Amino acid sequence: MRRPPALDRGSVQLDATLQLLRTEEGKAMGPAPKQAWPPWPPLLFLLLLSGGSCGGCPAVCDCASQPRAVLCPLRRLEAVPGGLPADTELLDLSGNRLWGLQRGMLSRLGLLQELDLSYNQLSTLEPGAFYGLQSLLTLRLQGNRLRIMGPGVFSGLSALTLLDLRLNHIVLFLDGAFGELGSLRQLEVGDNHLVFVAPGALAGLAQLSTLTLERCNLSTVPGLALARLPALVALRLRELDIGRLPAGALRGLGQLKELEIHSWPSLGALEPGSLAGLNLSNLAITRCNLSAVPCQALRHLSFLRVLDLSQNPISAIPARSLSPLVRLQELRLAGACLTSIAAHAFHGLTAFHLLDVADNALQTLEETAFPSPDQLVTLRLSGNPLTCDCRLLWLLRLRRRLDFGAAPPACASPRHMQGKSLREFSDILPPGHFTCQPALIRKSGPRWVIAEEGGQAVFSCSGDGDPAPTVSWRRPQGPWLGRAGRVRVLEDGTLEIRSVQLQDRGAYVCVVSNVAGNDSLRTWLEVLQVEPPNGTLSDPNITTPGIPGPFFLDSRGVAMVLAVGFLPFLTSVTLCFGLIALWSKGKGRVKHHMTFDFVAPRPSGDKNSGGNRVTAKLF
């Protein structure tokens, strides 16, 4: 039987070495007697020259570049080569033409720790294909043609910690697909045709800490499957066509600390309960379609430290909108559509030290936005059309201490400062640099307006200043008037009062203000009470305190009034007609005569004389 080539080369080198040693020794010792070499040094040299392997190295592979590694990439192999050393710890078979992996094919490699089968033509993996690889820690299967992951495929890989399944044709994960990977910590399944993840597909991954789902065909977040991952710490959901994150979709991930949602073009808003049950420290929702900071969805994340909302069409950060995030340290909103950051926007954030709002449309960033500007360490503000006026004096004062990143902010206006970086200015500013003009009222409408009750009243007010002032309205000793309701302030600063009521009578104050100062104007509204004419009904929508509300009748009320008045009238008419009927029935049958007798009195003392009787009739 022919010996392996490695042994032939080792024997030749060993013989040459021994001959050289004998020659040198003979020159040094002279005719000293020969000593016999013990039988074990040749075996020792043979082991050393063969790299300490327990078997030969396949001719198509490289076994010398790394210890205990067999490297066979890009060799056009269609099957796993034979004769692999049993003590191999790294086997690289990437970039070949392997089409299948049968059960027990690698069972001899019990010490194997890393296996790279990426970019082959594997379409099926038989159950038990990795049987015997009880020491395997890393398995790379990306770039193959795998379609379905079923139970039993990864049996025997009890020590596996990293599994890469990217760039395959996987359509679904069946229940129990990863059930025997109890030590797995990182799972990569991006760039597949994945449309469904069974509720029990991820069961058994008790130690999985990192999961990446990207560029798949999932239409919903597989919440039931994710709930089987009690130790998950980082979840990355990238480039998915998902339009909403339902309330409670991630409720079972109590240990999750990092959540990344990247490139969901259909995600326009975050529902208030979508992050319920989470206790995140790092949240990134980038390159989506959010139009506003999702304050309601974030308010319970009191341990959140890093928030990234970059590349969303968010136009403003309202005042105190992030105040519930008391431990927030970093906010990134680069490449969005920011036009304003309100005063007190970051108040309540005592640990806040990094703000990245580069590449937006901000014209200024006022000092009042921060609870303590001196605590700010990093401020990325480049790529904004900044107006360098008195509002940026605080930034000029801190320009040497702040970390602006690769590009410090530069002025876009006024013209004589255009393109100049903030770091280029000296401590002593020339006249006309970083200045403002206080606001002044230039135009106003009538200061005394008379309106009828139920009508409309309008007050106009505008001002000039640098920067452009804002116009606000209020009642004396009353709150500021808003932009909604019956009494409202329009976008151009006009005060509009609709359906004027008696209590609207009084003074109204217009305040025009900017960072350099303010100006005010007092106006008056007189309301004329309208008395409704007789027989008409008043407007039911107008009420005045202390004055009884108008009385009106509906159709039912009118019917009741008519019924109440008509019944007595009908009774009277009936009684009259009854009496007339009785009178007409007795007419013609009544005799209008009477008969009576008259007896004359007797003379006194004449007892025998009779009386004279007279009978009379009266007609």
Q: Which domains does the chain have, with CATH numbers?
A: 50-232 (3.80.10.10), 437-528 (2.60.40.10)
Q: What is the pLDDT of residues 94-132, one digit of tens each?
A: 999 999 888 888 999 999 999 999 999 999 888 888 999
**CA–CA gap between residue 344 and residue 370 (Å, rounded):** 6
Q: 3-state class of 313 per DSSP?
A: coil
SS (H, E, C) 545-567: CCCCCCCCCCHHHHHHHHHHHHH
Instruction: Please provide residue 245's backbone torsions phi and psi, each rounded to the nearest 5 degrees.
Output: -110, 100
Give CA 208 to chain center in angstroms: 25
- For residue 1, the model assigns a pLDDT of 37
- For residue 535, the model assigns a pLDDT of 47
- For residue 127, the model assigns a pLDDT of 87
- For residue 426, the model assigns a pLDDT of 87
Q: Which run of H or of E encompasses 611? A: none
pLDDT band at 551 (very low <50, low <70, confident <90, very high): very low
**CA–CA gap between residue 485 and residue 487 (Å, rounded):** 5
If you average pLDDT over every residue of the chain, what do you get? 84
**CA–CA gap between residue 513 and residue 80 (Å, rounded):** 79
Q: What is the pLDDT of residues 240-289, one digit of tens each?
A: 999 999 998 998 899 999 999 999 999 999 999 999 999 999 999 999 99
**CA–CA gap between residue 177 and residue 529 (Å, rounded):** 80
pLDDT band at 10 (very low <50, low <70, confident <90, very high): very low
Amino acid occupying residue 51? G
**CA–CA gap between residue 462 and residue 471 (Å, rounded):** 7
β-pair type (234-238, 210-214): parallel
**CA–CA gap between residue 525 and residue 459 (Å, rounded):** 9
Crossing angle of helices 40-49/5-29, nearest 10°? 130
pLDDT band at 202 (very low <50, low <70, confident <90, very high): very high
Q: What is the pLDDT of residues 320-350, one digit of tens each?
A: 999 999 999 999 999 999 999 999 999 999 9
| 592 pLDDT higher than 60 | no
pLDDT band at 575 (very low <50, low <70, confident <90, very high): confident
* Tokens read off for 355: 């703000």
- For residue 96, the model assigns a pLDDT of 97
- For residue 541, the model assigns a pLDDT of 47
pLDDT band at 555 (very low <50, low <70, confident <90, very high): low
Are 92 and 112 in contact by the 8 Å Cβ rule? The answer is no
pLDDT band at 603 (very low <50, low <70, confident <90, very high): low
pLDDT band at 16 (very low <50, low <70, confident <90, very high): very low
Q: What is the pLDDT of residues 408-455, one digit of tens each?
A: 999 999 998 999 999 899 888 888 888 898 999 988 888 999 999 999
Higher pLDDT, 109 or 576: 109
The set of residues, in sequence order, having a beta carbon less than 8 Å from that of 339 and lying 6+ positions away, is 315, 316, 360, 361, 362, 363
**CA–CA gap between residue 92 and residue 96 (Å, rounded):** 10
β-pair type (594-599, 470-474): unpaired
**CA–CA gap between residue 28 and residue 565 (Å, rounded):** 152
**In the predicted model, what is the mean pLDDT of residues 22-28?**
42
Q: 3-state class of 422 per DSSP?
A: helix
Write out the DSSP string of 18-68: HHHHHHHHHHHH-SPPP-PPPSHHHHHHHHHHTTT-SS---TTSB-SSSTT
Describe the chain by its helix, strand, coil percentages, rounded to 5: 15, 25, 60
**CA–CA gap between residue 6 and residue 129 (Å, rounded):** 30
Are 173 and 149 in contact by the 8 Å Cβ rule? The answer is yes
- For residue 581, the model assigns a pLDDT of 77
- For residue 595, the model assigns a pLDDT of 56
Q: 3-state class of 605 per DSSP?
A: coil
The set of residues, in sequence order, having a beta carbon less than 8 Å from that of 488 and lying 6+ positions away, is 481, 482, 495, 496
Q: Which run of H or of E encompasses 298? A: helix 295-298
Using alpha carbons, select from 396, 392, 459, 463 the residue that is nearest to residue 424: 396
| 214 pLDDT higher than 50 | yes
- For residue 522, the model assigns a pLDDT of 93
Q: How many CB atoms lie within 10 A of CB 155?
A: 16
pLDDT band at 317 (very low <50, low <70, confident <90, very high): very high
What is the percent of the chain where pLDDT is above 70? 80
Highest mean pLDDT among 28-37, 100-109, 199-208, 476-485: 199-208
Q: 3-state class of 242 per DSSP?
A: coil
Residue with tokens 């309701």: 485
| 29 pLDDT higher than 50 | no
**CA–CA gap between residue 619 and residue 617 (Å, rounded):** 6
- Residue 505 to residues 451, 487, 501, 602, Cα–Cα distance (Å): 9, 12, 8, 105
Edge-to-edge strand ranges of the sheet holding 172-173: 148-149, 172-173, 196-197
**CA–CA gap between residue 448 and residue 507 (Å, rounded):** 9
**In the predicted model, what is the mean pLDDT of residues 200-227?**
94
- Looking at the whole model, is its pTM more than 0.75? no
Reported as half-sphere exposure (CB side, CA atoms, 13 A), residue 582 has a value of 5
- For residue 556, the model assigns a pLDDT of 62
Range scoring the smallest mean pLDDT among 21-25, 84-88, 481-485, 551-555: 21-25
The set of residues, in sequence order, having a beta carbon less than 8 Å from that of 387 and lying 6+ positions away, is 363, 364, 411, 412, 413, 414, 467
pLDDT band at 516 (very low <50, low <70, confident <90, very high): confident
Residue with tokens 């909103």: 333
